Amino acid sequence: MKLSQNIQSKRVTVLGIGFDPLTQAEVVQTIATVLRARPRRKSFRLVKPYVEFFRTAASDKAVSEAITSADLVVADGVSIQWAAAYIYGSDHGTMAFWRGLFTKLQDAKWRQSVLPGRGAGVDATHQLLLEAAQRGWRVGILGGPKDSVATRLALEERYPVLQLVNVWSGYFKPSSEKHLVRTIAAADLDILFVAIGHPRQELFMQAHVSDGLARVLVGEGGTFDYDQMGGRLRRAPAWMRRLGLEWLWRVLLQPSRIKRQLAILPFLWNVYLAGSKESD
């Protein structure tokens, strides 16, 4: 698709993954442009990598391909914005690295200098759902909390005119996947949010990109786990969100996620090394 090629020609590479330097408003506008084009042979795929993606992409070629071949790749959080700003900036070295991590990270202008927007969780999805409601797009969700009824009720209350066609459980067996795909495809969706966790959701979207699930597939992660979207988790306080510490809040609520968050350590080291190479 020409639109995808134009976007991807401007990608910024961070530790082997190319990111599209778009604001959230531009992401929504890109999706609107795709949907105006009417039916396509292949779904338009949007993935939103966070720190853990780098570890799985480095160790699994199939995961790496599922990410890098997506039509739109948007940074999930401030950590990736920070990494891009540091790697592509002019100030490197040990002191510059720690200064960027503990001081410049809080400077929105600096942090957004390379990747101006991020598609993180509730806020970005809220903007897309508002647009969907206003434009009459048909929306579906695959995954999220086990209580899909709660998700549906919460979204219908928050977005009363949203055409939410269905919420399908993400707890399906491989033997029932073909039937599930046919059922979703028959719903004639504009957007399907695939919220079954990384890397399963990225592999699922790539495997079924030509099966007519929806004209746009969005790898959504854990967005629908939050209370604003029908889940049980409370959002982090506003001051933590401003500081980019929403990940820490989720660890506090779900200590079992600490092993996943350990991916930040090799990520920081690799960013430091990448910055050193840029300064050579």
Write out pLDDT tens, residues 113-163: 999 988 877 888 999 999 999 999 999 999 988 878 888 988 999 999 999
Instruction: Name residue 275's amino acid.
Output: G
Query: What's the pLDDT at 56?
Result: 95
Looking at per-residue confidence, does 248 or 275 come out higher?
275
Query: What's the pLDDT at 240?
Result: 78
Q: If we measure between CA atoms, which residue out of 110, 151, 155, 154 comes closest to residue 132?
A: 155
Q: Examine the pLDDT at 10 and tell me if it is beyond 80.
A: yes
Report pTM. Answer: 0.91
Q: Examine the pLDDT at 177 and tell me if it is beyond 70.
A: yes
Query: What's the pLDDT at 175?
Result: 96
pLDDT digits (tens, 9 = 90+) for 31-84: 999 999 876 779 999 999 999 999 999 999 999 999 999 999 999 888 999 999
Query: What's the pLDDT at 142?
Result: 97
CA gap 72, 58 in Å, rounded: 20
Number of other CB atoms surrounding residue 97 within 10 Å: 17
Q: For the ranges 101-110, 145-154, 181-190, 251-260, which has the lowest average pLDDT?
A: 251-260
- Rounded to 5 degrees, φ, ψ at 21 are -80, 70
Query: What's the pLDDT at 189?
Result: 97
pLDDT digits (tens, 9 = 90+) for 82-97: 999 999 999 999 999 9
Q: If we measure between CA atoms, which residue out of 221, 250, 243, 230 comes closest to residue 76?
A: 221
Domain enclosing residue 258, as ranges: 2-279
pLDDT digits (tens, 9 = 90+) for 234-258: 877 878 777 667 777 777 777 776 7
Token pair listed for 109 = 């202008």
Say if residues 25 and 74 touch (Cβ distance below 8 Å): no
CA gap 52, 54 in Å, rounded: 5
Q: Examine the pLDDT at 280 and tell me if it is beyond 60.
A: no
Average pLDDT over residues 154-183: 94
Q: Could you give the number of structural domains in the chain? A: 1
Query: What's the pLDDT at 246?
Result: 73
Q: Examine the pLDDT at 1 and tell me if it is beyond 60.
A: no
Query: What's the pLDDT at 149?
Result: 85
